Structure 1
Amino acid sequence: MKYIKTISVALLFLSVSQIDAQKKTTADTAKKEATQQKPVDNPTKCSNIKEGTFLRINYPKNLWYMTVKDNVQTEYYNDGKDHIKSSLVFVDDCNYKLIVLEKTEEANRIKVGDVFSNKVIATQDNYIKIQSKIDNEQFDLVLIKAKTK
């Protein structure tokens, strides 16, 4: 009988500690979710695209990166061996046209003279979501602005 009481007390302590651990885990998870789900900038910070170095999320820098300076956008790919250089013409704060000026890789389907219509549709800290259109194609890009040193 003494063993049953001891086991019962041990199970009680074990269940109380388990409940306490679950509460802590739930609180920690809630904190993490709150920090990860930061709201988008309101108003959208469209000027973030006007200058800097940008990376695509989930792409290593040697695969693709982009620089913007003095209304010239240059996309580098293939370990920086190839590029596409375009002129930026801002229609308003959040809308701009990209006019392809030069490219180094002939196999790329983008041609000199192509015009892309771009719109900054959302920003969040250093993240920028852009909607790009050319002809009947539309695609969204999420870029991260690299921190300057």
Structure 2
Amino acid sequence: MKRLKTVSAALLVLVCSQAKSQQTAFEKPDQPAKCKNIRDGKFLRANYPEGIWYMTIKENVQTEYFNNGKDYIKSTLVFVDDCNYKAIVLEKSDKNDPVQVGDVFNNKIVETQDNVLKVQSKIDNSQFEVIYIKAKK
């Protein structure tokens, strides 16, 4: 049952992220990647209105907001190094969301350009990429 939930969650994120991420090209990626950009701030996704999804990171706590901020998934971040980190789900508001408290996502920042980050995420045997755009302060 847990595997089915994990696969469902990964598939949902994969479909959404791939449809949008293909529209954000890294023409001149940073060399080396600016991985520390993920450590704090507000993040959006290309072509996603903020009301559908946005994320904040502060003091190693990542909170993803959905439904105009009514629903959320909160995770603690454990950095392995500058470009690799684990997101461990601490709590969530939507009981029907397939992501479960205790799930661990292994993330790697594979590319950056200015305020845009490409993150490869793995959970169990599923892997997907997400493009985050760091909002300017």
**Would the alpha carbon gap of residues 76 and 37 (structure 1) be closer, same or farther in structure 2, given more than 3 Å must change?**
closer
State the shift of 1:37 in Å: 6.9
How many residue pairs match? The answer is 113
User: TM-score of the superposition, structure 1-length normalised?
Assistant: 0.74
* Between structures 1 and 2, the one with greater helix share: 1
Amino acid at match of 1:116: F
Q: Structure 1: which 5+ runs fail to align?
A: 1-35
From the CA coordinates, give the structure whose radius of gyration is larger: 1
List, as ranges, runs of 4+ consecutive aligned residues in structure 1 with deviation greater than 2 Å.
none
Instruction: Determine if the alignment matches structure 1 residue 61 to structure 2 residue 46.
Output: no
**Residues 1-149 of structure 1: matches in 2 within 5 Å?**
38-148=27-137
State the shift of 1:58 in Å: 1.1
Conserved? CA contact 2:61–2:74, under 8 Å: yes
Q: Structure 2: which 5+ runs fail to align?
A: 1-24
**CA distance in structure 1 between the partners assigned to 2:119 and 2:95 by the alignment:** 26
Deviation by residue 1:27-70 (Cα, 9 ceiling, x = unmatched): xxxxxxxxx97410000000000000000111000000000000
**CA distance in structure 2 between the partners assigned to 1:103 and 1:39 by the alignment:** 37
What residue is the counterpart of 1:19 in the other structure?
Answer: none
**CA distance in structure 2 between the partners assigned to 1:105 and 1:38 by the alignment:** 38
**CA distance in structure 2 between the partners assigned to 1:97 and 1:142 by the alignment:** 17
* Between structures 1 and 2, the one with greater strand share: 2
User: TM-score of the superposition, structure 2-length normalised?
Assistant: 0.80
SS at structure 1 position matched to 2:100:
coil
